[in-house]
Amino acid sequence: VIRVYCKIIKDCNEHIGTLLVHHDITEEYEIAQMKSEFVSTVSHELRTPLASVLGFTELLLTKELKPERKTKYLQTIYNESKRLTALINDFLDIQRMESGKQNYEKKYIDLSSIVQNVIELQEINSSLHKITYSVELDNAIILGDRNKIEQVFINLLSNAIKYSPKGGNISIRIYGSKDQVIIDVKDEGLGIPEDAIPNLFQQFYRVDNSDRRRIGGTGLGLAIVQEIVKGHDGKISVSSEYGKGSTFTTHFSRVTMSANKENEDRDAS
Ligand code: ADP
């Protein structure tokens, strides 16, 4: 996209030349375009849960309802409000990351203890899946932002749970080498169709197959994961067999230190 500035140069009313300045504004234009797409997607995504909150509130206010009905409607309002809050948090995260305003507070952190905490938290929330965990490194220290790295594994593990049947097996394995930590989050759930894989980490992308249409989500979880992993100079990949299960693999640079636990959470500066 080119913006052209044109000036006619005159001397004593006589046209002596024309000045043309071409300015490439492709990047500016693309950013504006992305912003407007983002705003319209956000509005669209917020409208659906908001409409059901409004609809059910109106029913509760205007109709004589049996107590069981009332409870059912209130439960829907509660669930949709929770979904709205989750959506807004995801939007804010993605916006912050995209605008480059995401500050990572990097310290020496041990990925094995972070992953273990995330598993414990998930097990408190849902005990319907069997989660196994193995660590093959004596320490898995990286330079990273504890909260953000936690977010990565919360998103990956909650997807593994969400897209697996109740009672499904999920395994997390930490391994690697002298200079890298690799983490696999593996499930035996719905799997991902091959043609969906290239789009998986795009914002708002959701696989629209009948097997998962009823499972809620924003399509932002994996985009957030990818941004955080990139912000730590790491890598993420996925391998999956449709109908059998998926494995999400993250790679981070391992910090080799003589001491281990003592260095955890120590400032990197
Ligand atoms: P959301 O879960 O909110 O839809 P994500 O960005 O986390 O968004 O995931 C994008 C899509 O990738 C999901 O809609 C889902 O279909 C697919 N997906 C992600 N993780 C898994 C998984 N472990 N198993 C099967 N499908 C998955």
Shortest-distance Cα residue to atom 20 of ligand 1: 159
* Pocket perturbation via mutation, ligand 1, pick of 200, 226, 236, 249 by most ligand atoms within 8 A of CB: 200
Atom of ligand 1 nearest to the CA of 222: 6
Q: What is the mean pLDDT of residues 125-148?
A: 90
- Per-residue pLDDT for 38 more than 70? no
- Per-residue pLDDT for 133 more than 60? yes
Q: How far is CA 242 from CA 120, 184, 212, 218, in A?
A: 28, 18, 12, 21
Q: What is the pLDDT of residue 167?
A: 86
Q: Which residues contact 91 (CB under 8 A, 6 or more apart)?
A: 42, 220
Q: What is the pLDDT of residue 260?
A: 47
- Per-residue pLDDT for 73 more than 80? yes
Encoded amino acid at 143, one letter:
L
170 within ligand 1 shell (Cβ under 6 A): no
How many C-beta neighbours within 10 Å does residue 36 have? 10
Summarize pLDDT for 219-252 with one digit per residue, the tens: 889 999 999 999 999 999 999 999 999 999 999 9
Q: What is the pLDDT of residue 58?
A: 95
Q: What is the mean pLDDT of residues 70-75?
A: 94
Give the number of C-alpha atoms closer than 13 A to the C-alpha of residue 38, restricted to the C-beta side: 18
Q: What is the mean pLDDT of residues 184-208?
A: 92
Regarding an ipTM greater than 0.85, the answer is yes
Q: What is the pLDDT of residue 267?
A: 55
Summarize pLDDT for 45-60 with one digit per residue, the tens: 788 889 989 999 999 9
Shortest-distance Cα residue to atom 16 of ligand 1: 207
Summarize pLDDT for 97-115 with one digit per residue, the tens: 777 777 889 999 999 999 9
Shortest-distance Cα residue to atom 14 of ligand 1: 206
Q: pTM for the full model? A: 0.75
Instruction: Please give the Cα distance from 166 to 154 (Å, whole number).
Output: 18
Q: What is the pLDDT of residue 128?
A: 84
Q: What is the pLDDT of residue 39?
A: 74
Instruction: Please give the Cα distance from 203 to 200 (Å, whole number).
Output: 8
